[in-house]
Chains A and B, each alone.
Chain A
Amino acid sequence: MAKRARRKSISQSSGSDVPPSGADGGGPGLSPPAAAGTTGRFLVLFKEGAGPASVKSLSKAAGLSIASAADFKGRAANVEALGRSEGLHFPDLGVAVVNTPPTEMQAFAASGESDILAIEPERIVYAVEDGPAPIPPQPPPLSGTGTNVSLDYLRGYRDAVNHLCDKLLGTAADLVAEGLAPLVSETELTWGLQATKVPASRFTGKGIRVAVLDTGLDLGHPDFAGRRITSQSFVQGQAVQDGHGHGTHCIGTSCGTKRPGTLPRYGIAFEAEIFAGKVLSNQGSGGDGGILAGIQWAITNKCAIISMSLGAPVQVGQSFSQVFEQTAVRALAAGTLIIAAAGNESHRPQQIAPVGHPANCPSIMAVGAVDRNFQVAPFSCGGLNPQGGQVDIAGPGVSIRSSWPRPTLYNTISGTSMATPHVAGIAALWAQSNPSFRARALMSILTQSARRLSLPARDIGTGLVQAP
């Protein structure tokens, strides 16, 4: 049992150099040298809510003398000055730094009488060097052709060769290594629900209002029987009833039933309150005016999420709409997150088109599409424009089965339009899980919890959306 060290006041010793216990190699019977990259001290993490009694218990069991940083009254507490068998407790963090080998502490922690969650060696950290980004050298023009070959040409050539090699060599091994085994069967669940971990989620979207601004909804579709649905048309001369199909498909993905008339299950937030806003005609077209009216309606009705699988192409170098950006900022202030499709104008690998309007607004969450092999969909737009226009997250968007107007009932199509309602439905699950997950906090938890993939952020943002 370690001798209780003579108690030195930390403030008195702060001027003197007391080396960490492990650094000098110690003497006979003392601690072994600190592992490379560590100081020799240890961090002790206490359980949430553990009080001063827990620290006292540790003190007693491990023969430590532990001071509290709270006693320093505005002066900084100095862990460098800790003597052997001394420690410093940070009550606001629930962490203590102790200067003693952990053997006795580990026995105490394992005994079940302590409130200790973890013991870790204290790491040495370094400032990260921050210099100007090196400018990539310009490749010399290819000789013998008589013309300069542009950088764009070389990049396109490189991307095409990479794409061809990936296809021929296969990326299956990488995917399995990453823990993303290819999804095989869609008998019970669509691949999109499997890839985003929806089936395992205990959340249903209950209590969350999801507005889908699109071509409307087939209000008589049997899979939506018994659901709370509020609908409104913003298309002059046309009722909400979906005469196209696109809206029904998107509402199906985001909010569809857990028990469809025909398997597989294709819907995510099956207990969410559906707000079907028709802003696109039965021919599939609409204008900014109708979309803005739909957004106003959704906010007035306290929808936490607006899903917009619609857009207009933009040029490379074009900036985003100030009107829609201000609208989105005000929506966020009102607790509403707008999620929109990045656009389908790309023809990868030869051509990547920029994220379209209005998804290119910084305050609107832009969704790119991936396929079941976790590759970027060939049509998915990318974050090319420096002014806004970033892809924030990705969703399943190739060969997506969902509901379709009667008599067809179901349809399988592709698009960033299909990826978007995956994000919207999962956003409803997150929103249900925690009342503080609204607006920017909701955008944040979606991007933070996304599954990172080995794909450019330009194309997928932080990754593939995941359910809580």
Chain B
Amino acid sequence: MAKVRLSLSVSDSHLKHLGKVAKAVKKVGMKVEQQHDALGVLTGSIDADKVERLRRIAGVSSVEEERQVGVPPPGSPIQ
């Protein structure tokens, strides 16, 4: 099963209980790599077919696949 890299944000009501939400998403199978308390955000990866389960966990507000961002190569005139 392919793994998906993702970011997850908790609702304001669960901002102070980020640790609890982290436990719950780990139980569902998410590998939590980073926990950002000031942002209410968890980042990591999970099996693609389990992403929907994350959305149903209490306190989870948004779940998004990780986007790649970038800048052009150093020689480009427009950066």
Per-position 1/0 for B33-67, Cβ under 8 A of A: 11011111101000000000000000001101011
12 contacts between A and B (CB under 8 A): A245-B74, A246-B74, A283-B73, A292-B41, A293-B36, A296-B36, A311-B69, A323-B7, A326-B61, A327-B40, A357-B69, A418-B79
- Min CB distance A328 to B, Å, is 9
Most chain A Cβ neighbours within 10 Å, of B68, B70, B71: B71
* Chain A hits for B72, CB < 8 A: 284, 344
Question: Is A291 in the interface zone, CB < 8 Å from B?
Answer: yes
Query: Which of B62, B67, B69, B76 sits near A322, CB closer than 8 Å?
Result: B62
* Chain B hits for A379, CB < 8 A: 78
Question: Is B21 in the interface zone, CB < 8 Å from A?
Answer: no
Q: Which of A258-286 contact B (CB under 8 A)?
A: 280, 283-286
- Which residues of chain A have a CB within 8 Å of any CB of chain B? 214-215, 244-246, 249, 280, 283-289, 291-293, 295-296, 299-300, 309-312, 321-323, 326-327, 330-331, 334, 344, 357, 379, 413-415, 417-418
- Min CB distance B5 to A, Å, is 7
User: Given A287-B66, A288-B66, A417-B71, A327–B79 Cβ distance below 8 Å?
Assistant: no
User: Given A286-B68, A287-B66, A288-B67, A331–B74 Cβ distance below 8 Å?
Assistant: no
User: Given A379-B78, A418-B79, A246–B62 Cβ distance below 8 Å?
Assistant: no
User: Given A289-B7, A327-B41, A414–B78 Cβ distance below 8 Å?
Assistant: yes
Question: Is B25 in the interface zone, CB < 8 Å from A?
Answer: no
Rounded to whole angstroms, the CA-CA distance of A344 and B40 in the bound complex is: 30
* Chain A hits for B8, CB < 8 A: 323
User: Given A321-B64, A322-B64, A326-B62, A310–B77 Cβ distance below 8 Å?
Assistant: no
* Chain A hits for B39, CB < 8 A: 292, 295-296, 299, 326-327, 330-331
Query: Which of B5, B38, B67, B78 sits near A300, CB closer than 8 Å?
Result: B38
* Chain B hits for A327, CB < 8 A: 9, 39-41
CB nearest to A411 among chain B residues:
B74
User: Given A244-B74, A246-B74, A293-B34, A312–B9 Cβ distance below 8 Å?
Assistant: no
User: Given A322-B9, A327-B41, A285–B68 Cβ distance below 8 Å?
Assistant: yes
* Chain B hits for A323, CB < 8 A: 7-9, 41, 62, 64
* Chain A hits for B74, CB < 8 A: 244-246, 284
- Min CB distance B7 to A, Å, is 5
- Min CB distance B79 to A, Å, is 4
CB nearest to A412 among chain B residues:
B77
- Min CB distance B57 to A, Å, is 15
- Min CB distance A26 to B, Å, is 64
Rounded to whole angstroms, the CA-CA distance of A295 and B39 in the bound complex is: 8
Across the A-B interface, give the 6 residue pairs with the lowest CB-CB distance, nearest first. Answer: A322-B62, A296-B36, A285-B70, A289-B43, A415-B79, A284-B71
CB pair B78–A413 under 8 Å, yes or no, is yes
Rounded to whole angstroms, the CA-CA distance of A312 and B66 in the bound complex is: 11
* Chain A hits for B70, CB < 8 A: 280, 284-286, 310, 312
* Chain B hits for A245, CB < 8 A: 74
CB pair B38–A299 under 8 Å, yes or no, is yes
Query: Which of B33, B71, B78 sits near A289, CB closer than 8 Å?
Result: B33
User: Given A310-B69, A322-B9, A417-B79, A330–B43 Cβ distance below 8 Å?
Assistant: no
Rounded to whole angstroms, the CA-CA distance of A215 and B79 in the bound complex is: 12
- Min CB distance B37 to A, Å, is 8
Most chain A Cβ neighbours within 10 Å, of B37, B66, B70, B74: B74
User: Given A323-B9, A330-B39, A415–B78 Cβ distance below 8 Å?
Assistant: yes
Query: Which of B40, B43, B77 sits near A288, CB closer than 8 Å?
Result: B43
Most chain A Cβ neighbours within 10 Å, of B66, B67, B68: B67
Rounded to whole angstroms, the CA-CA distance of A74 and B52 in the bound complex is: 58
CB pair B69–A413 under 8 Å, yes or no, is no
